[in-house]
Structure 1
């Protein structure tokens, strides 16, 4: 942007032309007002340094762009890849169109040469910003694909580990638990010793739960596969979680409007949904209750499940680490619950998107494609 201002294109008809607003528009759309503010300062500082006529007009126009363009940022970020390219091109066209119209009114020119300049300026702005946006979207797609591949590799490693280790660990745990239960019923142990036995059994149960979580990665899907629109699973998991929600003053809102069907493992989908519900309720437990909203809909051959809570929320760093082995936002968590969620959705070729804000809440958006078959 600095180079554009310092070294503009000087036209024979007396005007100068540059592409200073292209980086300005892109940063304003992707980053919002806070991110584009440094560019706003730099743009005007460079323009005053260059000097010459039109400084005030440039300042006023850049201020208008600084105020208006970031307003569209949140809507812009929710668009798909193609939508963002089209939106950025349209905003560049409108921005340059307003600039040229203002310039025409101030200078009082509208001859053929100015019209030619205006047409070339508009097409150049739209063309350049479209090319840059396409490159940015390609980079973002490559980044997401890389993350997806890394996540698949992690799930594969955990699945192999689960298959080879979990069964061998569960057998000695079961035997030890049985002997401790027999010892617990003995009349010869003291109350202090009984307390130690109780603590040991609690820890064994916790170890059993961790092993069960591991086993969920290696379970064969052929045993429990169903072909359905998921209504039974969603109704079942909602009913299962209701008592837990009531205890923590959480209201559950449920809506279902989906006719699309997919093939999936019933038990794993149920456990996946319960894990997300439970995390949402526990996040609201610290705020004294809240609302857990479960919304299921169909959209362009995709089943979209939205699970929203009004809990404590997460930071961007915490969101980026979700689904990684042994990472949990809870003090006593193992991270295997969310890893199981990501593994289950990955098996049905789905995608999980997480939006969260500290003190506001978290939304899990699960999008599952439906095959034509």
Structure 2
């Protein structure tokens, strides 16, 4: 009995220890990559260890924790990561365990299909939904094993199979807890870093902006007076006009910096987001009149959130302007807003030029812009406003295909 428990604990350790090592040493590197080589390497080590040192019972069946690295690869890596781990599993079982090739490929093909479907929505779920989803999925796998045992006249082994499946389920939840905990720590670190950057920008803006604005206003006033002089040549008037335009542009930049310096709004009111979005979309359509860009909207009727109407306008005007600029001359912007449980979701999707993985990584940080003449302040301000309303912004983009911003607000 003690020897059996020792073997089971060794299996658990062989799976969880490499995962802990991955998070301690490699998780912060390339966290947005589609394919994660270090994660695949670690999960491969776990997989090979658990398959090599599997527990034999009744001289016919083997117990191992291979499903843990397989499921983790799909849910916390990507489909390519998961398919590679599945491929390694199939090859190992055919070569070393003498499993029937066709049945093995079919079984793991079905598992791959289920996990690919689950992984699409998994990252958007709450912790409870994630646990429920994975528990249900693994429960179905366990039930099919039980049915197979009955069908092959091995019903006396159902008890031990369910016991081993329960241990596998606990190990899987432990691995999920490790990933979820570390991901939350990374998100917290990013928020702290972003808050520090905003604080630096705020101090800089508060200490410099007003002092700079005073001489700029005086210069613009004198330029305005000079432009009324009838003795000026046409080229002199043009130079004065250009100078005044550049001063106005500088004033806009200073205003953006001052907006970052302002404390977050605390006097939030209950708003119907649909009404605000309709006004903003109507306003932005005027910017697309000269271009062949259409804005299509799909808004649910009752979308109640707590917020400030002027700041909401600032966020969505900025995001829509970015979409218009990303498209250029011809394209479509889709704006959809809907209720999803306790949250109101707004999605803004365009078919513009899109962004690279590197651009996505730094998006929303002060002074970073994907535009040649951008200041990197407008989008930073959007993030700050949304976070002050207890919301989140997520971005999906692919170069040449377009970008989708997903903004999530707590519902009232």
Measured in 1, the distance between the counterparts of 2:221 and 2:193 equals: 41
Q: Relative to structure 2, which stretch is displaced further, 8-17 or 64-73?
A: 64-73
8 Å CA contact retained: 1:309, 1:363: yes
Corresponding residue for residue 68 of structure 2? 22
1:227-258 CA-partner distances (Å, limit 9, x unpaired): 53345543432232121022222222342423
Corresponding residue for residue 292 of structure 1? 334
Structure 1 position 156, deviation (Å):
2.4
1:27-65 CA-partner distances (Å, limit 9, x unpaired): 123444312232133223433453446566444433443
Measured in 1, the distance between the counterparts of 2:277 and 2:386 equals: 15
1:106-139 CA-partner distances (Å, limit 9, x unpaired): xx33231x22232223222222212221222222
The answer to whether 1:276 aligns with 2:322 is no
The answer to whether 1:149 aligns with 2:187 is no
Corresponding residue for residue 109 of structure 1? 153
Corresponding residue for residue 34 of structure 2? none
8 Å CA contact retained: 1:224, 1:267: no
- Counterpart of 1:183 (choices 193, 204, 226) is 226
Measured in 2, the distance between the counterparts of 1:201 and 1:285 equals: 27
Corresponding residue for residue 159 of structure 1? 202
Corresponding residue for residue 83 of structure 1? 129
Structure 1 position 82, deviation (Å):
2.2
8 Å CA contact retained: 1:318, 1:329: yes
Q: CA RMSD in A?
A: 2.8
Structure 1, gaps ≥5 residues long: none
Measured in 2, the distance between the counterparts of 1:366 and 1:117 equals: 47
Corresponding residue for residue 44 of structure 1? 90
Structure 1 position 330, deviation (Å):
1.2
Corresponding residue for residue 308 of structure 1? 349
Corresponding residue for residue 329 of structure 1? 370
8 Å CA contact retained: 2:355, 2:403: yes
1:212–1:74 distance in 2 versus 1, CA, 3 Å: same
After the TM superposition, which residues 237-276 of structure 1 pair with which residues of structure 2 at under 5 Å, given as runs?
237-254=280-297, 255-258=299-302, 260-264=304-308, 266-276=309-319
Structure 2, gaps ≥5 residues long: 1-46
Q: TM-score, normalised by structure 1?
A: 0.86
- Counterpart of 2:405 (choices 344, 348, 364) is 364
Structure 1 position 14, deviation (Å):
3.8
The answer to whether 1:65 aligns with 2:111 is yes
Corresponding residue for residue 344 of structure 1? 385
1:340–1:82 distance in 2 versus 1, CA, 3 Å: same
- Counterpart of 2:258 (choices 215, 224, 232) is 215
1:150-198 CA-partner distances (Å, limit 9, x unpaired): 2222222222222221111111111112222333333333333333333
Structure 1 position 327, deviation (Å):
0.9
The answer to whether 1:203 aligns with 2:246 is yes
